[in-house]
Structure 1
Amino acid sequence: MCQELDSDFFILLKLNKEKAFQLVFDIYWHPLYKQAFKKVQRADLAKDLVQDVFVCLWDKIDMLDSEQSVLAYCYAILRNKILQLYEKNKVQLRYAISVAGNEIVADQHSQNVLLEKELTAIINEEIERMPPRMREIYILKKEDELSIKEIAEDLSISEQTIKNQLQMAYQRLRNRLKNYDSSLAILSIILSKLL
């Protein structure tokens, strides 16, 4: 289904940019909103993030490569928008910590929040580095929560290929996290021992 939509999109894009964009908007708005809401837990913020995704898509629509998955491209934009939001919140969080001063419990919680965001950023960065097909399959499985059978049907490839791609994606993530070294992680361990 995704390949057919991508094919239709790129054909329509040559004929009518607005209709091509409307096709993608109509089909992908809800899955993108669902993903954004899952990450930020606020409907208004999730809608704003999805709006930003489509603004970016419109701005770069002429630069899209017909070999790209439009859905994976939109998810990548959304992921970057969420990371930018986390970065902005991290600055606000640092300010709040500095104002709070001596509240060690709040500092430990804040460090845990930052650690979680740092790990999320590392995972998202590794997902972005995956080959396009692997990334698309991983996103459909983990973020859209589709079954292996549904993904195989949507992409018109075998279930075994889906399993192989997911296995390689998981291995990449495990290797990336195994090599993870963070001063925040060390600080979090030290704070937990102090308390």
Structure 2
Amino acid sequence: MDFEHFYVNWYSRAKYFAREYVSLEEEAENITQDVFLDMYQKQVLFDGQINQVAYLFTAIKNKCIDYLRRKLLEEAAAQKMQEEFDLSLRMKFDSLESFDTNWVSEQKLEEIIRNAIDTLPERCKEIFIKSRLEGKKQKEIAVELCISVKTVENQMVIAYKKLKEELKDYLPLLFFFFSEFF
């Protein structure tokens, strides 16, 4: 059987098969077209040695599995992002709820920040101070400390996370007084 005849006889059934698993008409069509294109490019499939129908449905099955696996990963990533957003929202809500309108003096706030910075691991603290208080670029810090820029970036992420947690009760004030700091 030649490719054209095979295509006419099996395309709609193959697409229906794919549609049962991927649910979206457009995706089923894309998968089916990809498989038929692959089969067309492998003309050897039509020399009578291979069961084309078995090959067709196996290829569609595998493409559907790949598609569903990718969708599951995307869904998991989206769910993780949503959880992080929800956590951030919860922290902001809790912070505002516990926000004391009896303003802390700027000096007291600076002391609180200094104490929070002092809780950082030594190397992390050193990198944070060079970046945020001395205004140095990550590349400058990396050269000065003989470390990679990636290490500087990672240490800054750690510093921000720890400081955010340490200063969570003061976030509204920090944003108000030191917006360039965070």
Please report the TM-score for the alignment, with normalisation by the length of structure 2.
0.42
Find the structure with the greater CA-based Rg: 2
Task: Using CA pairs under 8 Å that are at least 6 residues apart, name the structure with larger relative contact order, 1 or 2.
Answer: 1
